[in-house]
Amino acid sequence: MLFNSWIFFAFALVVLPLYHALPLRWQNRMLLVASYVFYGTWDYRFLFLLLLTTSIDYFVACGMGRTDDPKKRKLLLGVTLVSNLSVLGFFKYFNFFSEQLEALLHTLGFNPQFFHLNVVLPVGISFFTLQTIGYVIDVYWKKIPAEQNFLDFALFISYFPQLVAGPIEQAGHLLPQIKKARPRVTFPDVASAAWLILLGYFKKSVVADNIAAAIDPMLAGPTPGGLSCLIISYLFTIQLYCDFAGYCDIARGVSKLMGINLMVNFNLPMIARNPVEYWNRWHISLSLWFRHYVYIPLGGNRGGVVKTLRNLMITFVLSGLWHGPKWSWITWGAYHGAWLCAYRLMFPNQKKQHHLHWALDLLCRTAWFNVIALGLMIIRTDTPTAFWNFIVSIFTRMSWKIEAAEPTFLLMVLGGSLFAIELWVRNRDNPWEAKGWNWGLGVVTVTLVILSLWFLPAPVGKPFIYFQF
């Protein structure tokens, strides 16, 4: 069930009024049923997988809560790590590792024929797996108590607004909101939710989907000229951001209508001026997860420069692998890990604020945007040869000719306008609360509504890119 589809609109029209008509105890039960219905529309068979994962981690965490024996707690932690990573590995990575081992043995002179699976990847499995692993680790570290109410825990794992593409919520943030009585939703809450949902639909249906329609044909044939390749990299960067951030905006808006606040997952990442700032702005929930549960347990920045750089590279290679079972994603992770290592060596004092002249600041932001855009073409071109041809074209075949120039120009204007709007209402879920902005926001809001209606999605909208992860 896609957010940008009419079936979800009908689903919300049933769930939201029913939710507000019930007391807390029944609200959570109804939300749990609604979340399983929402997930079951993708493939009802995977409901059993979701329930199995939830049950194992619930009982493991409860077992940890009943003992202080370090050996027993480590054993229980091992159970949840093995069970969750085995399920994730089976559905997402079995074929990839099987193919790599087969290729290695062929190189060594053997001729094995390994078994390959033909299974559908359960939607959202990477997201809810990390969320439930994070919960159990927090219980193991005694940062939070084990949740005793199975239904509340099941809702924490399956909460439908963020189930299939995040944000990856930490238990310490979402679980207390699930358990306590939610405040009554007021008109400012509705206005805030409506603004987020409108902005999310605009990002997805108007910007991201139309960019995809423009650049996909340009990449289907021979490698375009240098200027076209450069613009394609910019447009794909905007597309990926609008597609994923649009989903998160809608998720946060829908959740606000139920009095539950999801974390902010994007904070203007395209204007970051360095790799550290970028990863504090882009897919924030994933960055925090890998920082808390991978980078710091590896040693973080303790133990000297060499170990710090090693920990950064391991973390980002694993992050790339999390995104997809392809060498292009692993390479993309290593690419960003290398940039972070280089920045760490150049600026070892991360706590010191670097105040730059506005011209140098703009140069840094422009340069880093180009680093992001070229890096994303590693995953968009998908093969080393295609990526190499793409980069070579930028630096050796530069010309003023642009394939599909008219839609490209329009999409660049739309993307630039979106960034201007986001800068204007920065850090405001409900910009209507800001006095003195009403006339300008009125024009902006009406424009977004008109454009969103103009590009109204089909009854079944285009899937969000991050659903494949």
Distance CA(72)–CA(79), nearest Å, equals: 11
User: Is-contact 403 222, C-beta < 8 A?
Assistant: no
Please, what is the angle between helix 24-40 and helix 6-20, to 10°? 170
What is the token pair recorded at 172? 């310490």
Three-state SS for 163?
A: coil
Helix (H) or strand (E) holding 411: helix 405-424
Nearest to 248 by CA among 190, 290, 197: 197
User: Is-contact 461 2, C-beta < 8 A?
Assistant: yes
Distance of alpha carbon 360 from the chain centroid: 30
Count of CA atoms in the C-beta half-sphere (13 A) of 433: 13
Nearest to 173 by CA among 297, 288, 277: 288
Catalytic residue among 283, 323, 336, 355: 323
Three-state SS for 415?
A: helix
Three-state SS for 345?
A: helix
Q: State yes or no: is 116 an active-site residue.
A: no
Q: Which residues contact 430 (CB under 8 A, 6 or more apart)?
A: 188, 191, 192, 195
Q: Where are the alpha helices (DSSP H) in 347-404?
A: 358-381, 384-396
Distance CA(465)–CA(119), nearest Å, equals: 19
As a whole number of Å, the CA-based R_g of the chain is 23
Distance CA(222)–CA(76), nearest Å, equals: 53
Distance CA(280)–CA(272), nearest Å, equals: 9
Indicate the length of the chain as a whole number. 469
User: Is-contact 52 134, C-beta < 8 A?
Assistant: no
Nearest to 193 by CA among 232, 251, 139: 251
Q: Which residues contact 322 (CB under 8 A, 6 or more apart)?
A: 126, 130, 286, 469
Three-state SS for 253?
A: helix
Peptide bond into 167 cis (omega under 30): yes
- Catalytic residues, by residue number, are 323
